[in-house]
Structure 1
């Protein structure tokens, strides 16, 4: 039985078409959700005995779709993108260039194709209830005659977490069924735990020092303060000269630290709702080695983001397919570089600040921040002093001499108030000769560099209308 009945028929139709293919060209996006989507689909196709060639694209536009058509494959499977470009894809289909199978979760364009698996088509929220990897997982389940492939649920969860679908730290909606599949298959564990990034790999003092959601006075951003705090609780920080990590602590020690953080937060006036966010739902990949990035869904997704965004999608895919030697080591080196670049990107925003209009705020990094990571920096910047969490943030970066990459991020609160960045970004970008889309909480576009100011004006108007 498929884990999401509403999408079962669509998944079955796509799977039947793939079984008839002599060979498949798989095209996927380059973020963590796109890489896990490709990893799931590639594994499922391989198990089904279907020859597959995989390509990755940073953005799917007319030129990139034409390059896919030029590969001369009769069957093309799009994962984690394609719905928003369905009009262009359908045009190639009508000309006999290829037959598309689109497995995505982004807002569809006003066009149709026969094989289209997207939660939005069945009233399921693609921004919070099913990711691209989740849709690919449904396809994988349908590809197996005995309806197995449940071991791939772990990658689907990594993709959903990487796509920021863990609302309040927990996966909901159709994602919930995938979590249950993973637990049933023995590849996933779900637990209530401290909601900080780096539980598997960071030394304890660093885990607390880097914690900023929420910020705990005297601990967050203060290495010495974090060490003093832990020592005041009687927590041993080292064993045999090695720093202990969160995963090395006993259940009793973990409870001691959480209770201490809550008490410190209350004493220093941290709002109750932010203190509550210290604890959330964690997703652990049971078959991965404890103390590695791959054991935790959040750390796994960050590792993947560090590969394709630096033109090494092949490395991220290899990790998804099980390479725990050369590919994993290469991914770790890319991750170290990625962290440096994100840190430098945030420092750029701190030094240069943001500009503000009536409804949005923005910064233009030009070539100071890579266009492949400027969206991540924008999302992280929402926590910086001087950046207003009550309005969306838009980041610009140089894509070419004549084009600018646009990345926009909102918050769940703004979405509840009516914000839909997918619609507003698409409307504003098309109006200035570009194109874009995405989700209500996060979206992107490519626009002519010379029309940036006009784009901002149109975006402001579109968002003002939504929030009104």
Structure 2
């Protein structure tokens, strides 16, 4: 039996519930996985002739949820706070459930023995539901985008979706340097994934390319020029990056044969940037195959990467026993900063990136698969440490977040450092 089939009973029941409604409210998270989840279910509802209204949000807001008075489906959120969710709502999530919940239908891979941190994201769960609502196999590409957005490998249930997409020519795989396509100097100037130390510095980039005797568009390079470029970039990345980051530089890339953005990695960046910058309608339009949204989303993506690189050049990373932490003045890019630092700059300890937003301290934390294998669980660490200072936290073992009262950061850092030190065996990395 395929791993994803463990969810068959729950996904079929969720589809039956949705199919009975003549109107559905869709609430989803504002990152790439949440937005593609919303895109998948909205496409499926539209094809069934079921009207819907979508809200893409950064977090569950109790006041907002209380105002809901129609059938609702929550995507990429809800399992951590089921007490906030209306009883008749469906929860589609891949975060670890932290409360006993007998009042909702929760479709969550963790509940059937699938690791929602690595083997299946919310978009994959939503895709499994969409298949029960009609012939929606062509939406598999969006599920892959969502998984990539959460940095999940194509293993377990994700591989089941990928295999199906390949079988039906929804997706095509190529093995190549994963920089995207376009002018080399511009790609390196704004690249955050992969991130190299010359990013943001046109003079250093030109010197780098001159030394390799290459230039122009990536797609126009000869095999020998591509080999030289790849080797040079790997050498740069290897100095500091994680194994995961090196693997992400050269390897499988996914062409989406049914989507308006065919490069899956670019789709991730465009939806994530649009979502984080508050242009959620634009991000959803991409998932609904509105080609008219591409140009604006592409520009937002470049702006977001530019801001991330600018912040990378300014931050001062501080050391704890088993963690690193940093304060950022740009509230919109803390997740991107955390991901870039842990992947390409300092992968040996978890990183916490903090910013002040709307009278709260928001924190984005990231680890690596290697650290998780050693015992790291950021969801537990962030939740427990946040509670100690009057905040809330949670997420995945490899990626998590928290919201704290202003002024509690020192106590929080001390608490989370102690928890992670214990998780990793009682000593710093």
User: Does the 8 Å contact 1:2/1:138 carry over to 2?
Assistant: no
**Rounded Cα–Cα distance in structure 2 between residues aligned with 1:463 and 1:357:** 10
CA offsets, 1:363-394, max 9 Å, x none? 122xx211x3212112212367xx64211111
* Equivalence for 1:425: 382
**Rounded Cα–Cα distance in structure 1 between residues aligned with 2:123 and 2:250:** 26
* Equivalence for 2:330: 369
Equivalent position SS for 1:450: coil
Q: TM-score, normalised by structure 2?
A: 0.89
* Equivalence for 1:311: 278
For residue 211 of structure 1, report the CA deviation from its aligned partner. Answer: 8.5
| Aligned pairs (5 A) from 1:315-334 | 315-325=282-292, 327-334=293-300
**Rounded Cα–Cα distance in structure 1 between residues aligned with 2:234 and 2:394:** 41
CA offsets, 1:162-183, max 9 Å, x none? 11113xxxx1111111112222
Match 1:203 to one of 170, 183, 196: 183
User: Does the 8 Å contact 1:34/1:159 carry over to 2?
Assistant: yes
Cα 1:422–1:230 shift into 2, 3 Å: same
User: Does the 8 Å contact 1:101/1:116 carry over to 2?
Assistant: yes
Match 2:159 to one of 176, 187, 191: 176
Superposition CA RMSD, Å: 2.8
Match 1:359 to one of 299, 317, 322: 322
* Equivalence for 1:50: 50
* Equivalence for 2:354: 396
* Equivalence for 2:78: 82
Q: Decide which moves more: 183-192 or 49-58.
A: 183-192
For residue 266 of structure 1, report the CA deviation from its aligned partner. Answer: 9.5
User: Does the 8 Å contact 1:437/1:445 carry over to 2?
Assistant: yes
**Rounded Cα–Cα distance in structure 1 between residues aligned with 2:228 and 2:415:** 48
Equivalent position SS for 1:382: helix
Equivalent position SS for 2:81: helix
**Rounded Cα–Cα distance in structure 2 between residues aligned with 1:81 and 1:259:** 42
Q: Which runs of 5+ in 2 are unaligned?
A: none
Match 1:129 to one of 119, 122, 128: 119
**Rounded Cα–Cα distance in structure 1 between residues aligned with 2:237 and 2:37:** 43
* Equivalence for 1:66: 63
Equivalent position SS for 2:422: helix
Tell whether 2:420 aligns with 1:447: no
Tell whether 2:163 aligns with 1:163: no
* Equivalence for 2:26: 26
Tell whether 2:232 aligns with 1:284: no
Cα 1:397–1:261 shift into 2, 3 Å: same
**Rounded Cα–Cα distance in structure 2 between residues aligned with 1:187 and 1:230:** 37
**Rounded Cα–Cα distance in structure 2 between residues aligned with 1:310 and 1:334:** 8
Cα 1:448–1:278 shift into 2, 3 Å: closer
Match 1:301 to one of 250, 268, 274: 268
**Rounded Cα–Cα distance in structure 1 between residues aligned with 2:262 and 2:46:** 25
For residue 109 of structure 1, report the CA deviation from its aligned partner. Answer: 2.2
CA offsets, 1:85-129, max 9 Å, x none? 11332xx42xxxxx1100111111212134111111111111111
User: Does the 8 Å contact 1:214/1:277 carry over to 2?
Assistant: no
**Rounded Cα–Cα distance in structure 1 between residues aligned with 2:217 and 2:104:** 54
Equivalent position SS for 1:322: coil
CA offsets, 1:106-160, max 9 Å, x none? 111212134111111111111111111111111111222xxx3110001111111
* Equivalence for 2:210: 228
How many residues are matched?
417
Match 2:170 to one of 164, 184, 187: 187
Higher Cα Rg, which structure: 1
For residue 230 of structure 1, report the CA deviation from its aligned partner. Answer: 4.7
For residue 22 of structure 1, report the CA deviation from its aligned partner. Answer: 2.6
